[in-house]
Amino acid sequence: MTVIIDPSALVAYLLEESGFEKTRDLLAEGVDSPALLLMETSNAVLEASKSKRIDRSDAGKAIAVLLALRESNIRVHDEADLLGSAFAIAADHGLTIYDAVYLALAVKVGGSLASKDRKQIEIAKALGIEIVST
């Protein structure tokens, strides 16, 4: 089954937070995501560096790992094809478009969701999207 990964799961992996091993295993098998994943994940790494959770060197290493994963383990999808359904999901369920686009992709490809975002997981379940533990 296709697994859609969101930034909350990917950042946990990159920063080796609780449960990162499960995400590592998913990445080894290959995952899918909207292209937005790259910017959202990079921003979360930047914020972790700015707040001193990680140092600048580790942040740079995390971005390098992200780029390497993009080349070999993460299949990226264009959001333009998902905008209509993402808008509907966001409007119907009180999500941002940013979060809804991951759910829209999961619906489109019949995939499951790898996320640590509780609200997103709750809505994914309501939409009939299987949740992968991370």
Range of the domain at 77: 3-132
CATH assignment at residue 58 = 3.40.50.1010
The Cα–Cα gap between 38 and 113 comes to 17
**Alpha-carbon distance 93 to 124, whole Å?**
10
Q: Tell me: the pLDDT tens digits for 104-126? A: 999 999 999 999 999 999 999 99
pTM (2 decimals)? 0.94
Instruction: Find out whether 49 and 59 touch, Cβ atoms under 8 Å.
Output: yes
For residue 62, the tally of other CB atoms under 10 A from its CB is 24
* Distance between first and last Cα of the chain: 16
Q: How many domains does the chain have?
A: 1
pLDDT digits (tens, 9 = 90+) for 15-27: 999 889 999 999 9
